[in-house]
Amino acid sequence: MVKKILLLIVCLYMALPGILMAQDNDPQKKYMAFDMRHNGKIYVVVGVILIIFTGIILYLVRLDRKITRLERDKL
């Protein structure tokens, strides 16, 4: 089960270049930050959010472990 889900996520990541290259001639396009996404340091923002998110998740994992230990002692 876990392996299948991991495989699915890897597949989705491999589809990334195809999704990024997709182009169309839409008049609304001039408002989109298309070039900025590649050159405008947006990856830094993604990195920062990922770091914060990882921190919160690690905290949650530790909390979970602590509660498990507490349950073992009390029951």
Residues near other proteins, by CB under 8 A: 1-2, 5-6, 9, 12-13, 15-16, 19-20, 22, 26, 28-29, 31-34, 37, 42-43, 45-46, 49-50, 53, 57, 60-61, 63-65, 67-68, 70-71, 74-75
Report, in Å, the least distance between residue 39 CB and other proteins.
Answer: 13
Comparing CA positions, the residue from 13, 34, 12 lying closest to residue 23 is 34
**From CA 73, how far away is CA 67, in angstroms rounded?**
10
Report, in Å, the least distance between residue 74 CB and other proteins.
Answer: 5
**From CA 16, how far away is CA 37, in angstroms rounded?**
14
